[in-house]
Every structure is written in C-alpha cells, then in structure tokens.
Amino acid sequence: MAAAKDPSIEEEAQPVTTKASNGKKVEESSTFSTAAVTTPSQTTTGAEVETNNGKSATNMKAPSKSMAERKRVPLSFYMTVVSILGLQICSGFLSLSTAESVYQSISSAVRQIKQLLDYTNSLTQSMALPSEERPPVSEYLVAAFTSTCLVSVLYVLFIAPFMGGFWTGARSTRHVMHRYMGLLYLVQYGLAWTEFARDYEQSKASILPACVALNGIIQAWSAFFSFKVLPELNDAGYYSDKAVLSRNFVHENAFFTLMSVFGSMYYNTALRHTLRTTLPGRILECLYIFWPYVLVRPLFPITRFSDTGTTHKGRSAQNKRFYEIGTYMVKIFFLYAKYFLGFYANFLIFLELPTEDDWKLLRGTLLLNIGTVSIAMFLHTLRFKKILPPRLTFGIYLLQIYATIVGIPYAKHVFTSHPKLLALCFSGLLCNMTRSRKVHAVWCFVTMCLLNYKEIEW
C-alpha cells in the first residue's frame, strides 16, 4: 500500500480557488484532485511577513514563474506514466480478464446494495408487527447506527456537493473532465467498499481497487495541470482554514497517489505473481518496495510540516489552536504510517508472509489509504468553497487517517508474528529521525539485501 508522507522527508497535496497575479479570481478544483493519507501499500525568496505564530517568515514562496514555465511538464509526470504503464504491462493488468473482474465486482457490489435496501425496508415494516414477532432491539439499533453513518457519508460526499453546484449549474462548465472523473471516483470507491464489506471472498481477487487508484492518479495530475495559477508556497495550505492551497502540495500529492496505484496492484495476488515473472516487473517491484523515497520522491516537491500555518493570515484566531493540534496529529500518523503501514506491510507481502486474516487487514487498510489520498483533497475543496465548515472537513480527514485503529484486533497478530521485521522497520524510523536522505538510502540498501537473503527466517 502506498507509504504515507513523512514529516521530516515529505508531505501531501490539494486543490483551491485563489487570485492570480493579474487579479482575476481562479476557481480551484471542483471535485478533488488527490490528498494527504494513511497508508499501508511515505529555498525560496519572498518578502518578510508576520505569520500566525508570531514569527516572521521570509522563505515561504518559491520564485515566481511565468505561465509558460508553469505549463512545462515535470519529470515526475513522465516517471508516473512510465511506472504505471510498466506495472500494467508486466502484471497482466491490460487484459480481457481485468474487464471481466471489474464487471463482476461492480455487479457484486450492486447486488449487495440492493440486498441492504431490501433488508432495511423489511426491518422498517417489521416495526408494525406485534412485539413478539419483531427482531431483537439490538438489530434495530445496529441498523439505525449503520444507516446514520451511511447517510452522513452520502451527505458529505454527494448531497452537499450537488447542492453546491459541483456537477450541475454554472460552476460545472469548467474543468469538466476533472469534475466528472471525480464523481466517478466517488462512485467507484463506494462500490469497492461495498464489495469488501459485504462480499470479501469476491473482493480478494478484485481489480476494482486498482481502477479506483488509477482514477485517483488521473485526478492528481488533472488538478496539477488544470490549476496552474495556484501559488507555489512552501506552506501546503491544507492545514489551515483560510490559506490557499499550494500548487507544490498538489504536485507532491501525486507521489502518494502513485504509491497507492502500486499498492493496489501489488496487493492483488494474481497481478503480483505475474509482475514477478519478468525482469522489468522485478525492477519495478524493488523500486517501489525499497527505493520510492530515494529514487522517486526527489522528483516531486516537498512541503514540510514545519512550514504549515506560515501563510500570512492563513489561520483564523478561533481555529488556530484546532489546526495546530490537528497538524501535530497528522505528523505523528505519517511517521507511523510510512514505516508500519507502508514499509512493514509491503515487506510482509514481498516475503509472502501474510495469513488470510492478515490479508483482510492489509486490503482494508489499502482501501482506506486509496480513498484518503484523494478524498482529503475533495474535503479541502468543500471547505474552500464554504460548502462545509473548516473544522468539520479537517475533522473528517483526521477520522479517515485514524480509522486504521478499527483494525487493531487484526493488527496485533500482524505485528507480533514477525518481531525481526518489526525491528527492521523501527530502525528505519530511527534513521528517518536523522533527516538525512543518505542515511535513509543506506537503510533501504541494507533492508533490500536482508529481505533477499533466503537464510533469514522473518
């Protein structure tokens, strides 16, 4: 699964509306590009201003670029295209069986939704029956709680955006592909979760998560190329209630989406085994299992947690403390997620160690990660366009990334069964604390050698 962003080495991205240098108002991402996440599948010039924390900040804005410079295609985009095409070709993704698998997954999810609606209808009608013929009260309570959660999700992701004109009305006339691919993403993601939750046996071999992740990477680059007028600030702009999203953050987030794409294919047993049958496939496997933060990550810009909130008046006084605490929570999560939901999970799969119960946790965490990386950007757009209040959208994002605690009963076995591998990942976290890319590269090399040494019992 995609490695989450690390506070000392990297960070994530999002969309926005702002004012360009010519004074014209520019509309931000209407649906969502792609976002900060959890995971399993990781110098400038500017005038000195007073920041929210009372400190003066000078190096907050990158040297201004002309529109021609902003239109240039970055090397990271070519890396993304080559990597994805390589993964698809070497894994056998581009085949008729993939289309059949997607069709079966969608059909299964639709059947499950219909069954849920029929069950809800019958349960509602049963309330008119005599008390001795009714189902247990606990069944009503579970149904009520589940329905409330689902309706809340539908309101945030579909109803509120429709009411705000995201896909209808005057607002929807620009960036049409970005908007409607975002809507398709939400539908795909909902179907993927339905299949996982209601028909896990079918979802084990499903290609649907890979399709969701591929849509996500399209959204990420669509946002980057569509919203060229976003300021290129070191402050990501995401961890604030008033700041404009930085284009660097949008660009940077494409890396984490790319990691999600790799994870979505690598976690599929059939695709992974096919990938390993070719030399190019093995090279891609090693690149994204051991070297993503050394060889791929430098192609993308970095926005650091230390720069969050430095945009002048980016945080309101009433929400400043809320965002400071929230940012710290994100920072802690990313450090944990990079090494234990990212590297550790990928190492387990590389060594073919997961049990059936382990796989359920890993696949569930992967789905969370895929969604968080993209939907977090959508939540930011809802905040920016004042569709939903900032505390609510950022709070939902925090719930998304910390939703992995639901898997703690499964995670205990995953982590305690392989203490040597756990210690290896913990050593990587300690190396990360040095804030040295060279030290991290040494750890990656040593780890690759150890995991390929067949005499070690992990």
**Cβ contacts of 318-326, under 8 Å, gap ≥ 24:** 319/241, 319/390, 319/391, 320/52, 322/391, 322/394, 323/239, 323/240, 323/241, 323/394, 326/239, 326/394, 326/395, 326/398
Q: Greater confidence, 62 or 412?
A: 412
* Alpha carbon separation from 299 to 75, 248, 302 (Å, rounded): 7, 12, 10
User: For position 64, what pLDDT does the model report?
Assistant: 65
**Statement: residue 109 has pLDDT above 90:** yes
Cα–Cα distance measured from residue 294 to residue 286, given in angstroms and rounded to the nearest whole number: 12
- Most confident among 67-81, 273-287, 319-333 (mean pLDDT): 273-287
Contact yes or no for 296/287 (Cβ under 8 A): yes
Q: Greater confidence, 244 or 30?
A: 244
pLDDT in tens, 393-411: 999 999 988 887 777 777 8
* Alpha carbon separation from 193 to 177, 366, 367 (Å, rounded): 24, 11, 7
CA atoms within 13 A on the CB side of 287: 21
User: For position 227, what pLDDT does the model report?
Assistant: 86
User: For position 62, what pLDDT does the model report?
Assistant: 53
Burial class (CB in 10 A: 0-12, 13-18, 19+), 450: middle
CA atoms within 13 A on the CB side of 24: 5
User: For position 418, what pLDDT does the model report?
Assistant: 92
Helix, coil or strand: residue 50: strand
Cα–Cα distance measured from residue 93 to residue 274, given in angstroms and rounded to the nearest whole number: 9
Q: Mean pLDDT check: name the lowest of 27-41, 286-300, 304-318.
A: 27-41
pLDDT tier at 7 (50, 70, 90 boundaries)? very low
User: For position 168, what pLDDT does the model report?
Assistant: 83
Quote the percentage of the chain above a pLDDT of 70: 85
pLDDT in tens, 123-135: 999 988 888 888 9
Cα–Cα distance measured from residue 192 to residue 49, given in angstroms and rounded to the nearest whole number: 46
Torsion angles phi and psi, residue 215, rounded to 5: -60, -40
Cα–Cα distance measured from residue 197 to residue 139, given in angstroms and rounded to the nearest whole number: 18
